[in-house]
C-alpha cells in the first residue's frame, strides 16, 4: 500500500509540474495573488494590525493638529495591486480560453475540410478508374475481354486496378470489386483482371453478390462483409484476418490455405467448400453451416464453435487445441469425437 501511495504522489507531482510548464504565466499570477492575500490576512487576523515593519505603515499613526491620522497600511497598498492584478488575470484567462476555443474550432474545420478533400480525391479516383476500364472494354482495335493473358492491355488494366485500390476507402473498394464482377472481369478460372495480392483491406459490403469470382492471395483483413454471396469463388490463400464475415455464403468455394485468424464468421455457410489447411485460430464460428466440407489439416486453435450445424465434414488432422466446442467445454479428444461433431 505504501508503495502505491508513493507512486501516486509522484504521478500527481509530475502532473502539476507539467501543467505549470504549459502555463507558467497563469500560475505565476495566481501565486502572486495568493501570496499578497496571505500577507494581508496574516497581518490583519494574526498580528492584529500591530506594528510589523516600518515600511508597511501598519499600526503607524501621524499626529497633525492634535488629530490622529492612521497611516497607509499594507492593505491599502495591496488594494492598489490586488484589484488590477485580479482583473488582469481574469481578462488574461478569458482571452486565453477564447483563443483556445477559436483554435479548436479552426482545427476541427481544417480536419473536416481535409477529410472532405480526401473523400473527393477518392471519389475522383474511383470515377476515373471506371472511365479508364470502360474505355479499355470499348476499344475498337480489340477490347479487354478478347485480349490474351499476356497482352499489354491486361497489364495496364491490372496496374490501374491495384494502384486505384490503394487510394480508396473500404466502401469504394467494395464498389470497385462489384464493378469488376458485373463486367465479368474477375470470373473464377477465367479472370481477365488478376487481383492476386490486391489490397482490399477494410473493404465494406452489405449483401453484395460476389459469387463465382477469382480472389487468390488477396488481402481482405479487417473487412466487413455482411450477408455477401461469395459462393463458387476461388479464395485460395486470401487473408481475412480480423474480418467480420457475418452471414457470408462460401458454398462451393475454394478456401484452401485462407487466413481467418480472429475473424467473426457467425452465420456463415461452408457447404461443399474446400477448406484444407485453412487457418481459423481464434475465429468465432457461431451458427455456421457445414456439410460435405473438407477441413483436413485446418487449424482451429482457440476457435469458438456454438450452435453449429455440421453434416459430412472431413476433420482429418484438424487442430482443435483450446477450442471452445458446441457443448461449451474446451476441446477434449475423449469427449469431442468426430462422430459426435458430425452427429
Domain of 276, CATH number, reads 2.160.20.80
Tally the domains of the chain.
Answer: 3
Give, for all 343 residues of the chain, the pLDDT tens digit.
444 444 466 676 777 677 666 666 667 766 776 776 676 666 656 655 544 445 455 555 555 566 655 555 555 666 666 667 667 777 777 787 888 888 888 888 888 888 899 999 999 999 999 999 999 998 877 789 999 988 999 999 999 999 999 999 999 999 999 999 999 999 999 999 999 999 999 999 999 999 999 999 999 999 999 999 999 999 999 999 999 999 999 999 999 999 999 999 999 999 999 999 999 999 999 999 999 999 999 999 999 999 888 888 999 999 999 999 988 899 998 888 776 666 5
Residue 266 lies in a domain: yes
| 168 close to 176: Cβ distance less than 8 angstroms | yes
Whether 49 is in a domain gets the answer yes
* Residues 100, 141 share a domain: no
DSSP state, residue 312: S
Co-location of 202 and 342 in the same domain:
yes
Interatomic CA distance for residues 180 and 82, integer angstroms: 75
Say how far apart CA 229 and CA 244 lie, in whole Å.
14
User: pLDDT tens, 57-108?
Assistant: 555 555 556 665 555 555 566 666 666 766 777 777 778 788 888 888 888 8
Could you write out the three-class secondary structure of 264-297? Answer: ECCCCECCCCECCCCECCCCEEECCEECCEECCC
* Same domain? 161 vs 219: no
Q: Of 74, 105, 136, which residue is a domain's last?
A: 105
Give the H/E segment covering residue 131: helix 74-137
User: Among residues 282, 110, 255, 288, which one has the least CA distance to residue 188?
Assistant: 255
Asked if the structure places residue 112 within a domain, the reply is no
Within this chain, do residues 135 and 245 fall inside the same structural domain, yes or no? no
Nearest Cα to Cα of residue 308 among 300, 297, 296: 300
pTM assigned to the model: 0.72
Mean pLDDT of the chain: 85
In this structure, are 181 and 153 located in the same domain?
Answer: yes
Judge whether 192 lies within some domain. no
The DSSP bridge partners found for residue 273 are none
Domain that holds residue 71: 2-105
Q: What is the spatial distance between Cα 189 and Cα 162, in angstroms, rounded to a whole number?
A: 20
> At what angle are helices 152-165 and 74-137 packed, to 10 degrees?
160
Nearest one of 255, 256, 254, 219 to 240, comparing CA atoms: 219
Using alpha carbons only, give the angle 203, 204, 208 rounded to the nearest 5 degrees. 115
Domain match, 138 and 206 both: no
Distance of alpha carbon 308 from alpha carbon 269, whole angstroms: 10
Residues 131 and 224 placed together within one structural domain of the fold? no
Amino acid at each position: 500500500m505504501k508503495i502505491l501511495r508513493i507512486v501516486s504522489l509522484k504521478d500527481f507531482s509530475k502532473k502539476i509540474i507539467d501543467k505549470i510548464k504549459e502555463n507558467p504565466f497563469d500560475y505565476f499570477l495566481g501565486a502572486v495573488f495568493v501570496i499578497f492575500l496571505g500577507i494581508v490576512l496574516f497581518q490583519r487576523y494574526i498580528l492584529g494590525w500591530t506594528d510589523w515593519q516600518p515600511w508597511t505603515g501598519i499600526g503607524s499613526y501621524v499626529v497633525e493638529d492634535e488629530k490622529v491620522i492612521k497611516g497607509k497600511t499594507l492593505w491599502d497598498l495591496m488594494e492598489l495591486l490586488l484589484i488590477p492584478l485580479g482583473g488582469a488575470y481574469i481578462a488574461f484567462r478569458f482571452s486565453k480560453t477564447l483563443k483556445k476555443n477559436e483554435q479548436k474550432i479552426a482545427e476541427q474545420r481544417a480536419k473536416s475540410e481535409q477529410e472532405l478533400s480526401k473523400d473527393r480525391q477518392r471519389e475522383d479516383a474511383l470515377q476515373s478508374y471506371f472511365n479508364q476500364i470502360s474505355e479499355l472494354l470499348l476499344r475498337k482495335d480489340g477490347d479487354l475481354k478478347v485480349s490474351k493473358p499476356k497482352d499489354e492491355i491486361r497489364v495496364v488494366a491490372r496496374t490501374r486496378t491495384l494502384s486505384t485500390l490503394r487510394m480508396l476507402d473500404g466502401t469504394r473498394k467494395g464498389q470497385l470489386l462489384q464493378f469488376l464482377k458485373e463486367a465479368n472481369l474477375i470470373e473464377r478460372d477465367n479472370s481477365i483482371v488478376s487481383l492476386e495480392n490486391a489490397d482490399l483491406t477494410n473493404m465494406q459490403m452489405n449483401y453484395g453478390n460476389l459469387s463465382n469470382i477469382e480472389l487468390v492471395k488477396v488481402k481482405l483483413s479487417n473487412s466487413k462483409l455482411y450477408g455477401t454471396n461469395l459462393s463458387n469463388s476461388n479464395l485460395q490463400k486470401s487473408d481475412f484476418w480480423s474480418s467480420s464475415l457475418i452471414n457470408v455464403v462460401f458454398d462451393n468455394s475454394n478456401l484452401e490455405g485462407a487466413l481467418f485468424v480472429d475473424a467473426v464468421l457467425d452465420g456463415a455457410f461452408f457447404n461443399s467448400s474446400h477448406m484444407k489447411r485453412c487457418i481459423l485460430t481464434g475465429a468465432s464460428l457461431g451458427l455456421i453451416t457445414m456439410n460435405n466440407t473438407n477441413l483436413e489439416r485446418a487449424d482451429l486453435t482457440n476457435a469458438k464453435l456454438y450452435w453449429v450445424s455440421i453434416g459430412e465434414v472431413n476433420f482429418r488432422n484438424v487442430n482443435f487445441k483450446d477450442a471452445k466446442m458446441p457443448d461449451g467445454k474446451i476441446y477434449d479428444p475423449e469427449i469431442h469425437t468426430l462422430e459426435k461433431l458430425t452427429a
